[in-house]
Structure 1
Amino acid sequence: MISVLSMSMQKLLLLKKRRHRFNAIDHVTERRYYASNNTFTEIKIGKNLSDILITYPELKQWPTIAVPMKAGSASFHSGHLIHGAGANMTSGRRAAMTIQMMPDNMIFNGKQNILTKKQMTELKVGVSVFNDDNINPILYKKLR
């Protein structure tokens, strides 16, 4: 199995020989992962996967790792990992679900990333982003 883990944006590591589960709701013949993207301080999210190759053309020369996936499986990896699925070659749609998990002590750093414009106007730098259970519910809390 292959495990993908990110300590930080500067240290995105591909760790082999660790347990890792890859999953998708609908069948995906394979996903491709870049083995390392630790030279970039911040990767902007574009509307299309190929936008990353325009922003960072050197990625075209980097090897990718294929990860075959079956319907009902899951992939657990850092959101900073450059990844994507191949084209849907079926006549039907391909559904997927994403879940982001973060420690409950996270504070807003002022960067928009995936936040909406409305969220950007409501959040304050240096304040917890978890002060609204309707948007960011706490799923698990360790009892002391």
Structure 2
Amino acid sequence: DDAPASVAVGATDDPESALIAHIYAAALRFYGSPAHVALSEDPLTELDSGDARVVPGFTGRLLHRFVPDSTARSATQVYREMVSALPEGIGAGDYTTSAEDKPALAVTEKTAEAWGGRDLTAAVRHCDDLEVGKVASGAIPP
């Protein structure tokens, strides 16, 4: 059998970690690499044993794990320090801001047009008119 082995994408069983791992596994499959999600209590330790080959994560959370007292705050600083703090033999993907773990505000097209803008300054000008909502099963942000 010449089929390549399936790439194990590590994740914890919490919904956020599992969702990100499934997205990574789907991307790997899209590009021709068989992949599956492997759940564990600490997927980063699975990299050492080879039980996981990829473990997606957020740069800030990974930096905090390896350097809890880091003072890095900007996205670029956090990424650079995280890469420097990774254990030997562990690498990180290229830096990108296309996916961020930050609060976001979504408004309808009609609202954006009424406000005359699509950035947060438009929302600031209309704070008194905002009605904050959430997904029914979601947690309320702090």
Tell whether the structures are fold-level matches, with TM greater than 0.5.
no
**Structure showing the higher helix proportion among its residues:** 2
Higher relative contact order (CA 8 A, sep 6+): 1
TM-score of the aligned structures, taking structure 1 as reference length = 0.28
Q: Radius of gyration: which is bigger?
A: 2
TM-score, normalised by the number of residues in structure 2: 0.28
